[in-house]
């Protein structure tokens, strides 16, 4: 970093007041309230494990990162399924859900992947992300999809069916009616009239559809046990959706060069109403009005009892690790993403709080 950007010295509380994206404003406020800038990467194999860790670790995190497509037993029911249960736990413990989908296709495809299919990611995940290799169009398309979803989500289609009163029709008059003038679904049966001429009974069926406002599904109880409590001290999360752009990676030998990263920054600036920030290895805020949030994976602490700032080794599979002090204090990220360091610990709750404490300490020292 060539110079100190104002966001590096600003507190999360002050950034919540100036944030341009509603979810960033909420997230900064939540971070200040919980004294946490920790994200749990819940890379687990089953839906049962996912919900377990969301419930147990939820109190100390501000973001839960998921990979729904690697979870067996995922229930896709929109009201009672896994996504809905995660949403209820997010309200209860005070965190946002980040589906780490890494969309990476042409615009039309990513729109459908985001809003359609069995998962319907947009319905339950506050945040998702994009791999911008296909170009800026993928960001624009996801932004468009989120905007359309937001416009439609408070409405449902109401269908009403009315059946007209049967009336006797003169056969001669009726014969003059063209097929185009008859109502779809009408049925006719011959019936003699008082003059001995054949008539018919005409019944009409009219189907109308209109959009009507509905109550927010966020207030519907979705946990089977009926737990609809909400984390105290903060209002409900905004319904607006947010995007993180995958600008840099922690894996060894990745191909995300400076030109790619700069293109990510440019796309973010063009879509500030939807792009919250970046998955990156350092802060990418350089212009005076940049207010993006930065989340960094590859965070690990040395074993309990050792120097928290000691060097940590990779996992032997390309992942390179850094300590919270390096990620938050030196590189200028806002949120540390931790996965196996917590999930695989003998006491995940205790270890999660150790990571929370270390990441928060790095932040408080940075803003002094």
Q: Given 29, 34, 85, 100, which residue is catalytic?
A: 100
Structure tokens at 241: 């959706």
Q: Among 330, 332, 328, 326, which Cα is nearest to 309's?
A: 326
Is there a binding annotation on residue 72? no
Q: Given 55, 56, 105, 227, which residue is catalytic?
A: 105
H helices present in the chain, as ranges:
6-9, 12-18, 22-34, 47-57, 82-93, 107-115, 121-124, 137-152, 171-175, 258-270, 324, 340-343, 348-366
Q: Is 105 a catalytic residue?
A: yes
Q: Given 102, 136, 272, 361, which residue is catalytic?
A: 102
Residue 63 burial by Cβ neighbours in a 10 Å radius (0-12, 13-18, 19+): buried
Q: Is 100 a catalytic residue?
A: yes
Is there a binding annotation on residue 65? yes
Is there a binding annotation on residue 339? yes
Contact present, 138 and 130 (Cβ < 8 Å)? yes
Instruction: State how far the alpha carbon of 182 is from the alpha carbons of 167, 169, 285, 318, in Å.
Output: 14, 13, 65, 70
Say what angle helices 258-270 and 137-152 make with each other, to 10 degrees: 30
CA 336 vs. chain centroid, Å, equals 18
Is there a binding annotation on residue 250? yes
Is there a binding annotation on residue 319? yes
Q: Is 75 a catalytic residue?
A: no
CA distance 62 to 12: 13
CA distance 309 to 8: 20
Q: Would you tell me how many other CB atoms lie within 10 Å of the CB of residue 290?
A: 17
Q: Which residues are annotated as a binding site for substrate?
A: 43, 65, 250, 319, 339-340
Catalytic annotation, residues: 100, 102, 105
Q: Which residues are annotated as a binding site?
A: 43, 65, 250, 319, 339-340
């Amino acid at each position: 970093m060539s110079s100190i950007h104002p966001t590096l010295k600003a507190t999360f509380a002050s950034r919540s007041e100036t944030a341009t994206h509603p979810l960033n404003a909420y997230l900064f406020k939540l971070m200040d309230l919980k004294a946490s800038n920790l994200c749990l990467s819940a890379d687990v194999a089953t839906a049962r494990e996912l919900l377990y860790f969301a419930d147990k670790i939820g109190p100390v995190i501000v973001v839960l990162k998921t990979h729904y497509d690697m979870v067996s037993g995922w229930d896709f029911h929109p009201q009672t399924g896994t996504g809905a249960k995660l949403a209820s736990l997010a309200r209860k413990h005070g965190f946002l859900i980040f589906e780490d989908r890494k969309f990476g296709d042409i615009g039309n495809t990513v729109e459908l992947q985001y809003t359609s299919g069995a998962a319907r990611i947009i319905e339950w995940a506050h945040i998702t992300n994009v791999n911008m290799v296909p170009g800026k169009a993928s960001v624009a398309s996801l932004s468009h999809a989120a905007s359309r979803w937001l416009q439609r989500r408070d409405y449902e289609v109401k269908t009403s069916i009315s059946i007209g009163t049967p009336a006797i029709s003169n056969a001669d008059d009726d014969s003059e009616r063209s097929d185009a003038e008859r109502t779809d679904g009408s049925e006719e049966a011959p019936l003699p009239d008082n003059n001995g001429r054949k008539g018919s009974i005409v019944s009409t069926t009219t189907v109308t559809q209109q959009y009507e406002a509905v109550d927010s599904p966020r207030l519907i109880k979705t946990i089977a046990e009926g737990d609809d409590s909400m984390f105290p001290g903060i209002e409900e999360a905004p319904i607006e959706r947010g995007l993180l752009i995958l600008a840099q990676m922690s894996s060894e030998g990745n191909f995300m060069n400076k030109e790619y990263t700069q293109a990510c920054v440019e796309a973010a600036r063009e879509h500030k109403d939807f792009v919250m920030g970046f998955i990156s290895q350092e802060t990418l805020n350089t212009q005076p009005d940049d207010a993006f949030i930065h989340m960094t994976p590859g965070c690990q602490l040395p074993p309990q009892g050792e120097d928290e700032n000691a060097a940590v080794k990779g996992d032997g599979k390309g992942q390179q690790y850094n300590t919270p002090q390096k990620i938050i204090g030196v590189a200028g990220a806002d949120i540390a993403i931790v996965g196996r360091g917590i999930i695989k610990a003998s006491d995940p709750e205790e270890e999660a709080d150790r990571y929370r404490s270390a990441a928060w300490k790095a932040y408080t020292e940075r803003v002094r």
